[in-house]
C-alpha cells in the first residue's frame, strides 16, 4: 500500500481584535437595505471604506487575518498606497466591482467607474469625487442589492432521498502498477467494492458482497485486494480479503470484539502487512504481521499498556512509538526491533508530537508537532532528536502533508483557514497540480490528489466544493489524458444548491470564533428560520465543503450556522485548551453568541431558532435547551451525550489510554463532580421546554444507548412528549441508507412543525 496523504492532528486561531473605525449604527445601516439612518457627511478614508465594505459584503466580522485576506483580493499591488487618504469614487468602484466578482477586462479606474455605474452602485448619489460616510452607506446598500439579487422565491424542493441515498461510485484507487482501479459503489443498498481493468472496455466486477453494512474502505497490497468493515456500527473493524472475481471473501481477522487498524503496507515484502489489533488486551493495540493470503498473524510488538501509536521504518521494522498517559507523553525510539525502546522526545500537557514517516535512509523522521509552540507544524528530526521546521502557518495548524516515499520528500502541506490551502515543496508536483487546476477550472481548495501509481505518472484526482458533492477523474501525465470517472449524486444540480460562507465573530470574552453560514438559495437573507449545527468531537472542526444535511436544510428554507467554538481543533493549542472543562459553559456561550450574531445581522428570526447536532453536537443541543431554554424553538439530539458521568464510565476499552485526556479536557468524575453535575443536561430536565427529537443507534460504542434513554425517560416522567428514534442495527450515527432517509424525513417534519408556523 502506498504512502499518500498523512493526516496531521489539528488544533487554534489568532485572537487579535479588529478595529473598525465606523460606528455599529452605521454598520447596521449598511446591512439593512431599507435603512434611512442619517449620518454626518464626514469624508471617509480608504481604510475606513474597506473596513465597512468587508463588514457589509462579507460575514468576516471577527478575524483580522481573514479581513486582511479579503482586502488583499480587492486591492492589488501598489493600488491605494495611502490608506489614510480620502477614498475616491473611482477607487471605491474598483473595490466593489472586485468584491461583487464582476471584474472582467477593466484596466483603468474610468472603466471600473463605468462598470459600477452600470451595476447601479452609485444610484442616488451626487457626482462628488470623494465619498462621505453617508454616501458609503448608500453605495454599500446598492452593492448588497447586486450581491443578493434574488427573487426571494427559493428553489424547488429536493427530496430527502436525493440528498441521503448512496451517492454512487467513490473511493477510487489505483493498483500499485496502475493497471487496475477499485472503487466503492452501491449493491443491495450497501456500499461494496468493485474492480476494473484500466484502458479496457470490460465491465467492472463486484468483489465484495456485503448486505448488512457498508464497506468502510478498501486498499491494495501488491496484487491483493483488501477491504474493511464492522458489524452494525460496533466499530470493531476487521480486514477482509477478496479475489478479483469476488468468489473468495475471507475475514482475515475473525476475532470477536476486536478492532484492527493498518500500520504499514510493508512495501517490498510479499503478502504481508503490519496491523494494530487489540486482540490480547481490549484496552491497547499490539503490532502484528498479517499474511493476506492465509490470514496468519505473527506478534511483532507488545504494548505495555501506554502506547497510543506505532511507526515502522522504510524496511517495515517497528522502531518508533508514542507513549502517553492521556495528558503527557514520550516519543520512543529504538535502533532495531531487537533493542529496547528509549525516550526520544518528551511532550507536556497540551503538546503533541506525531511521527508520520521515516526518510528513505531511515535516518530522519517526519512528524507534526506543537511542542514548545502554539500551532502544529511539520518538522523533521534526526536520530538525535534535533528538529528542523519544514512548514508552519502563523494563524492555523498544519492540517496534513503528502509525503512521497520514492522521492523521499514532502510534496506539499495543507492548512485550513476559510478553506483548504496548499503549500508546495516540490516544483514539478506543483506544476502538475496547477496544470490540473487549470484544466478543471477550479480553485485549489476544490482540487484533491487522491491516489497515484508507484511512478507517480497516473493519478486519481477529485473536485468538490460547497455545491458539488464530488467528481473523480483519472489523469495520465505521460499522455496528458484527463478522463472523468464518476460524479457523486449527479441528480443534484449545483445551481440549485446553497453556498457555504466562511464567517467570523467575537465571543463575549473576546475570542475570535470562525465558522460557516449556509443561506437558502434564492432567498433574501432576512428573518430566516435558522438551525445552529454544533459539530461533534468537540476536538474536531467544521470545514468548507459539501455537506448533504446542511444542503437539505438550506433547500427547505433554513439558514444553517456552523461554528468552530473553543476546543475545536485546527486553531492552535491555546484555542483548544480554552475549552477545557467548559462543556455547557464557555463552549456553549460561543454557540449562543453565534446565534445572537446571526440575529443581530438580521439574518435569523429570533422566534424561529432551532439547534441540531450529533455526538458532542447532540450534547450541545441538550445543553442549549437547558442553559438557554428561551433561545430555541426546536431541538434535535442525534447520538448525543446527556450525562457526562455515564459517558466517562462507558468509553470504549481501546480509549482507555486517553482517559486522562478526558479528565483533563472534560472533568474528573470525583474531583469535578459539581462541575460535571451542573454540565450534564439529564440533571436539568426541569428547565427544558423546547420540543425535542432524539435519535440513537443501539450499538453505539462511543455514546451508549443509555445516554439517549436517560434523557428521554427523564422528560417523559415529567410528562414532556419527546420523539425518540432508536435503530438496532446502527452505531454512532446512522449509515444504512434506509435509516438515514427515515431519520432525515422525520427530522424535517419535526423542525418544520415548530419553526415554520
Which residues carry out catalysis? 615, 700, 732
d(CA 639, CA 724): 11
d(CA 638, CA 616): 9
Q: Which residues pair with 487 in a beta bridge?
A: 471
Strand stretches in 124-252, DSSP E? 170-174, 180-187, 190-197, 205-206, 217-221, 224-229, 238-242, 249-251
What is the DSSP code (8-state) at residue 733?
A: B
- Which three three-digit cell numbers place residue 717? 416522567
CB 308 within 8 A of CB 323: yes
Q: Which residues pair with 130 in a beta bridge?
A: 88
682 to 679, 704, 715: CA distances (angstroms): 9, 14, 9
d(CA 415, CA 527): 34
Sheet holding 409-416, edge to edge: 5-7, 398-404, 409-416, 420-424
d(CA 267, CA 33): 63
40 to 46, 144, 338, 584, 588: CA distances (angstroms): 17, 22, 80, 44, 40
The per-residue DSSP string of 575-628 comes to: HHHTTTT-TTTHHHHHHHHHHHHHHHTT-EEEEEEEEEEETHHHHHHHHHHHHS
Give the end-to-end CA distance of the chain in Å, rounded to a whole number. 55
By CB neighbour count within 10 A (0-12 exposed, 13-18 middle, 19+ buried), where does 636 fall?
buried
Q: Which residues pair with 43 in a beta bridge?
A: 132
By CB neighbour count within 10 A (0-12 exposed, 13-18 middle, 19+ buried), where does 459 fall?
buried
Percent helix, strand, coil in the chain (nearest 5)? 25, 30, 45
Amino acid at each position: 500500500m502506498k504512502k499518500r496523504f498523512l493526516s496531521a492532528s489539528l488544533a487554534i486561531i489568532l485572537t487579535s481584535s479588529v478595529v473598525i473605525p465606523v460606528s455599529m449604527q452605521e454598520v447596521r445601516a449598511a446591512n439593512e437595505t431599507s435603512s434611512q439612518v442619517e449620518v454626518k457627511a464626514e469624508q471617509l478614508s480608504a481604510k475606513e471604506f474597506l473596513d465597512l465594505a468587508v463588514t457589509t459584503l462579507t460575514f468576516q466580522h471577527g478575524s483580522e487575518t481573514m479581513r486582511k485576506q479579503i482586502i488583499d483580493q480587492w486591492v492589488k499591488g501598489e493600488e491605494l498606497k495611502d490608506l489614510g487618504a480620502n477614498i475616491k469614487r473611482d477607487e471605491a468602484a474598483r473595490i466593489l466591482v472586485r468584491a461583487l466578482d464582476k471584474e472582467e477586462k477593466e484596466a483603468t479606474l474610468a472603466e471600473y467607474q463605468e462598470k459600477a455605474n452600470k451595476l447601479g452602485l452609485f444610484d442616488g448619489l451626487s457626482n462628488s469625487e470623494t465619498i462621505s460616510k453617508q454616501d458609503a452607506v448608500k453605495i454599500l446598500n446598492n452593492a448588497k442589492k447586486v450581491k443578493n439579487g434574488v427573487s426571494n422565491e427559493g428553489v424547488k424542493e429536493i427530496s430527502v432521498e436525493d440528498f441521503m441515498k448512496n451517492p454512487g461510485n467513490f473511493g477510487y484507487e489505483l493498483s500499485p502498477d496502475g493497471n487496475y482501479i477499485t472503487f466503492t459503489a452501491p449493491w443491495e443498498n450497501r456500499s461494496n467494492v468493485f474492480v476494473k481493468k484500466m484502458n479496457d472496455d470490460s465491465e467492472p466486477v463486484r468483489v465484495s458482497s456485503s448486505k448488512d453494512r457498508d464497506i468502510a474502505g478498501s486498499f491494495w497490497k501488491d496484487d491483493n485486494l483488501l477491504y474493511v468493515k464492522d458489524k452494525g456500527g460496533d466499530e470493531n473493524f476487521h480486514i477482509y480479503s477478496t479475489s478479483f472475481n469476488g468468489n473468495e471473501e475471507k475475514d482475515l481477522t475473525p476475532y470477536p470484539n476486536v478492532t484492527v487498524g493498518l500500520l504499514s503496507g510493508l512495501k517490498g515484502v510479499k503478502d504481508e502487512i503490519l496491523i494494530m489489533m487489540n486482540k490480547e488486551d481490549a484496552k491497547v493495540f499490539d503490532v502484528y504481521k498479517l499474511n493476506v493470503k492465509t490470514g496468519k498473524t505473527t506478534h511483532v510488538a507488545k504494548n505495555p499498556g501506554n502506547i497510543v501509536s506505532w511507526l515502522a521504518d522504510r524496511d517495515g521494522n517497528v522502531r518508533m512509538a508514542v507513549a502517553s498517559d492521556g495528558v503527557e507523553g514520550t516519543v520512543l525510539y529504538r535502533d532495531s526491533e531487537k533493542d529496547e525502546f528509549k525516550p526520544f522526545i518528551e511532550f507536556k500537557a497540551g503538546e503533541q508530537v506525531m511521527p508520520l514517516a521515516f526518510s528513505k535512509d531511515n535516518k530522519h523522521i517526519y512528524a507534526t508537532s506543537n511542542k514548545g509552540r502554539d500551532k502544529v507544524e511539520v518538522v523533521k528530526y534526526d536520530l538525535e532528536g534535533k528538529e528542523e521546521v519544514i512548514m508552519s502557518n502563523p494563524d492555523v495548524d498544519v492540517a496534513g502533508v503528502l509525503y512521497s516515499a520514492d522521492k523521499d520528500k514532502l510534496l506539499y502541506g495543507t492548512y485550513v483557514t476559510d478553506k483548504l490551502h496548499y503549500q508546495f515543496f516540490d516544483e514539478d508536483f506543483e506544476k502538475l497540480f496547477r496544470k490540473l487546476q487549470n484544466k478543471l477550472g477550479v480553485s485549489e481548495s476544490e482540487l484533491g490528489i487522491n491516489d497515484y501509481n508507484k511512478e507517480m505518472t497516473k493519478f486519481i484526482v477529485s473536485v468538490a466544493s460547497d455545491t458539488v458533492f464530488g467528481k473523480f477523474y483519472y489523469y495520465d501525465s505521460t499522455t496528458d489524458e484527463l478522463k472523468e470517472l464518476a460524479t457523486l449524486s449527479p441528480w443534484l444540480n449545483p445551481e440549485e444548491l446553497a453556498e457555504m460562507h466562511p464567517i467570523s465573530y467575537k465571543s463575549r470574552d473576546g475570542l475570535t470564533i470562525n465558522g460557516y453560514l449556509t443561506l437558502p438559495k434564492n432567498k433574501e437573507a432576512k428573518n430566516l428560520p435558522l438551525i445552529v449545527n454544533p459539530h461533534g468531537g468537540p476536538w474536531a472542526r467544521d470545514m468548507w465543503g459539501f455537506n448533504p444535511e446542511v444542503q437539505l436544510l438550506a433547500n427547505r428554507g433554513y439558514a444553517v450556522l456552523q461554528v468552530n467554538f473553543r476546543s475545536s481543533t485546527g486553531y492552535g493549542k491555546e484555542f483548544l485548551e480554552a475549552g477545557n472543562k467548559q462543556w455547557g459553559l464557555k463552549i456553549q456561550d460561543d454557540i449562543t453568541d453565534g446565534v445572537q450574531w446571526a440575529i443581530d445581522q438580521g439574518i435569523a428570526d429570533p422566534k424561529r431558532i432551532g439547534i441540531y447536532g450529533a455526538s458532542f453536537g447532540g450534547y450541545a443541543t441538550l445543553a442549549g435547551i437547558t442553559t438557554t431554554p428561551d433561545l430555541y424553538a426546536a431541538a434535535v439530539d442525534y447520538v448525543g451525550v446527556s450525562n457526562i458521568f455515564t459517558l466517562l464510565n462507558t468509553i470504549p476499552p481501546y480509549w482507555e489510554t486517553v482517559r486522562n485526556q478526558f479528565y483533563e479536557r472534560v472533568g474528573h468524575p470525583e474531583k469535578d463532580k459539581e462541575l460535571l453535575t451542573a454540565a450534564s443536561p439529564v440533571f436539568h430536565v426541569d428547565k427544558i421546554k423546547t420540543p425535542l427529537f432524539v435519535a440513537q443507534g443501539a450499538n453505539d460504542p462511543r455514546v451508549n444507548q443509555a445516554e439517549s434513554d436517560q434523557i428521554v425517560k427523564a422528560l417523559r416522567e415529567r410528562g414532556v412528549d419527546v420523539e425518540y428514534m432508536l435503530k438496532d442495527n446502527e452505531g454512532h450515527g446512522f449509515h444504512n441508507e434506509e435509516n438515514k432517509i427515515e431519520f432525515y424525513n422525520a427530522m424535517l417534519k419535526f423542525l418544520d412543525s415548530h419553526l415554520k408556523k
